[in-house]
Amino acid sequence: MKKTILSFIIILVIIGTATRQNSFANNRFSQDHITKMLKSFYTCLATIHNLNKLDSVKRLNCTSNYFKEIENQEMLDYEPLIKAQDFGFDCLKTLTIKKDLKRADLYYVTYIEPNTKMKVTIKLIIVKEKERYKIDYVFLDKI
C-alpha cells in the first residue's frame, strides 16, 4: 500500500513538473511573438511616411476598440503610441521591449529621443485577438 501511494505521489510530481514546464514554454513563445510584433510595429511607425499606410499598420496592430480611442484623442498634441510627435530611424536604434514581471499583458517600449537624449517609456497592454497579438491600451501620462 505504501509503495502504491508513493508511486502515485511520484507520478503526480512528474506530471505537475511537466505541465509547469510546458506552461513556461508556451509563455516564452507568446512573449517572443509579442516582442517581434512590437518591433515590427515600431519599425513601420519609423519608416512609413504615408498616412494611409500608417493607419493600416495601426489597424492591424491595435484592437478595434483602441483604434477608435486613437481617433478620438484629437486633443493630444502628441502620438500616444510613441509618446512624441515624431519617431524616426534614430529612435529604432535604441528601442527596447520588456515584459512586466508581474502582469502578463503589460509591456514597456523604451527608446532614447535623439534630440533631447531623454529616455521615453511607453506602457502598453497587449491582448490576443483572433490568433494575433494586438495593442489594446496605451497608458497616457505626462511626456
Amino acid at 135: I
| Cα 125 to Cα 121: distance, rounded to the nearest angstrom | 13
Let me know if residue 103 belongs to a domain: yes
Whose CA is closest to 84, among 135, 122, 39, 49?
Answer: 122
Give the domain extent around 23.
2-138
Rounded to two decimals, the pTM is: 0.76
Span 40-60, mean pLDDT? 90
Let me know if residue 10 belongs to a domain: yes
In CATH, what number is assigned to the domain containing residue 113?
A: 3.10.450.50
The model's pLDDT over 2-34, given as tens digits with 9 standing for 90+, comes to: 556 544 455 444 445 444 444 444 455 588 999
User: DSSP character for 78?
Assistant: S
Number of domains in the chain: 1
Let me know if residue 51 belongs to a domain: yes
Let me know if residue 26 belongs to a domain: yes
The model's pLDDT over 73-130, given as tens digits with 9 standing for 90+, comes to: 767 778 888 888 888 889 999 999 999 999 999 999 999 999 999 999 999 999 999 8
Let me know if residue 143 belongs to a domain: no
Residue 57, C-beta contacts closer than 8 angstroms, at least 6 positions apart:
41, 44, 45, 48
Let me know if residue 108 belongs to a domain: yes
| Cα 49 to Cα 40: distance, rounded to the nearest angstrom | 15
